[in-house]
Amino acid sequence: MVKSISLKYQGGLVALVAPLMVCLCLAADSAESPNRSIFLQRLKPNWQLGDKWVVETITQPLQMREGTTRRMAARPIQWQFTVQRFEKSLNQDYYRVEIRCMLRGRPQPMTVLWVDRKSHILRKIQTQIPVPGGFRTITENYEFASGQPSPVLGPLSALPIDLPLLMDGQAKGSQKFTYEANTSLSGTKAVGEVGFAYEVEQEVSPANAEQVKGLLNDTFAKDLKRRPVVEVKLKGPGREVRQLWQPGLPWPAYTESGPTVSRLVKVIPAKSKPEK
C-alpha cells in the first residue's frame, strides 16, 4: 500500500538531520520537446574502486524566528565521496560509498551508501545523528517489488544522495515506480517489521545548454558540447528533486533538493596521482 510520508523516523530524520548536518559541518526550464534519443546508459556512472569526487552544498537556513526577515548566511560545505570498497550479500554486489565532511575538525557525521553495482540504484544508507554524548547511527534499507529497480529519494536534504534509475535503453518520458523503505537503529530489518511503500515519479528530458550553463561548476560548464546535459526530475510525497547529469561524470553536476543546492566541483579518478 502506498502511503504518504509517515515512516516513523522519516519525517524526524529529514527535519532533524538536515539542519544538524549543516551546523555540524560548517531553474532552468527543460526543453518542451519529447525526449530525443536520451539513452540513460550513457549517464550511468562507471565507478572504480578508489574513485573520489567532491560535492559542494549550500543550504538556505530557515528564518531565525517567525515574523522576522533576518536570515543566517548560507555557508558552502564540501563533501568528499569515496568508492571505498566492493561488498557482497547473498545475492547482491554493492559499491560502498563513504561520504565525509571536508571541514577541518569535523569527522562526523559520516554517511555511507550501498549502491547496487549492476543497476546503480540505492539499496541502503547509513548516517549519524547527534545525541547527548555522541552520535547515533540510523540505517534505512530499500526493497523493490518483484525485484524491479526504482529511483530512491533518500532521507537527507542537506546532503542530497537521491539516485535516479539509469538503466539500459532510451528515456521514456515520465515514469512511476514504487519501493519500500524501512528504518532501524540496528542496521537490519527486524523480523515482523513492516516497511512503508513510496511512489516516486521520474522524468527525463534534454536540457538547454545555454540555460543551465550558469548552474554548473565552471569545470563542467566548459564541456557542454562533449557532455550534453540531461535533466532528471524525481518527485515523491513531499519531495521534489531536480538533477543535471552529464555523461562520464560520477555524480549529478547540479542538484536542487528542497533548500539545498549542490554542485559537483571536482572528480578524482582512482588512477590519478596524489595531489601535492
Provide the pairing of β-strand 239-245 with 254-257.
Answer: antiparallel
The chain-wide mean pLDDT, for the chain, equals 79
Question: 18-27, 70-79, 160-169, 260-269 — which one is most confidently predicted on average?
Answer: 260-269
- The one-letter amino acid at 108: Q
- Which residues have C-beta within 8 Å of that of residue 119, sequence separation ≥ 6? 149, 165, 167
pTM beyond 0.95, yes or no: no
CA atoms of 57 and 111, how far apart (whole Å)? 15
Per the model's pLDDT, the better-predicted residue between 151 and 21 turns out to be: 151
Is 194 within 8 Å of 174 (Cβ atoms)?
Answer: no
Please write the tens of the pLDDT for every residue from 60-80.
876 544 555 555 567 899 999
Residue type, 6: S
DSSP class of 212: H
In whole angstroms, give the CA distance from residue 126 to residue 145.
22
The predicted pLDDT at position 14 comes to: 45
